Amino acid sequence: MKYARVAFEGSIQEAIVTENNIQLLDGQLVKENEVVWLPPVQPNTIFTLGLNYADHAKELSFSAVQKEPLVFFKGPNTLIGHNGKTVRPNDVTFMHYECELVVVIGRQGKNIKQEEAYDYVRGYTVANDYAFRDYLENYYRPNLRVKNRDAATPIGPWLVDKEDVKDPMNLTLRTFVNGKQTQQGCTGDMLLSIQELIEYLSSFMTLYPGDIILTGTPKGSIDTVVGDEVITEIEGIGRLMNTIISEEALTNFKNE
């Protein structure tokens, strides 16, 4: 099943998404264009992997061989739902999308072994982990000024049960900018698999239900500009839409 969180007529609701409708859990049946899509999860901890696809690591001129997995955290200010808008700051020259498979943890665990890792997974969703290369600095890289900006991590549209995803390590990821495909990869090319990531992270900290892991992005990152419509899509999971807006558009919108 596909689970969403939406705003409808003044209330925030959990919902089940079917082929033609959205079934709100209070019983109402509504159409997709009647709701505002919210991030499908409200995690306490957001793990993000950097350089987890060898080809993307090469693209960013890093050695693919890391001593430790490159992991960092994000704050809740970064998340925004499907059909949301993300600001491109006026002073950046390179803002790129990153299509990523998101693993949603379903059960508390510490020192989880690879073989049992999927027992701790609730399901999957899609994220677009925008980066702003102009702000990169070599301290705790990628620093929060690059990776922790407001609404710069679209996520959704929904959470898909793990039972509905036959092989999460063999899914096609695609990004489309204004309808044109600009990125394609396969989750099978991750350097550290979902199972290895869960084993690694839980070896030093407890994972909790609702925590999410953004598993990294393959090559194909290009600059995106104000007005671009960016769709990140993962086979069998969903298509996540986001539009890039200017700083002024955000302010004007607020003043209306």
Per CB under 8 A, residues contacting other proteins are: 44-45, 68, 70-77, 110, 135, 137-141, 143-145, 148-150, 204-206, 208
Distance CA(6)–CA(22), nearest Å, equals 9
The minimum distance between CB 234 and other proteins, in angstroms, equals 25
Residue placing its CB nearer to other proteins in the complex, 147 or 174: 147
The minimum distance between CB 27 and other proteins, in angstroms, equals 30
The minimum distance between CB 135 and other proteins, in angstroms, equals 7
Residue placing its CB nearer to other proteins in the complex, 108 or 170: 108
- How is residue 181 written in tokens? 């495909």
Q: Angle 221-227-232 (CA atoms, 0-180°, nearest 5)?
A: 40
253 Cβ contact list (under 8 Å, min separation 6): none
The minimum distance between CB 40 and other proteins, in angstroms, equals 19
Quote the DSSP letter at residue 227. Answer: T
Question: Contact, 101 vs 126, CB < 8 A?
Answer: yes
**DSSP SS3 for 252:** helix
Q: Tell me the pairing of strands 153-161 and 121-128.
A: antiparallel
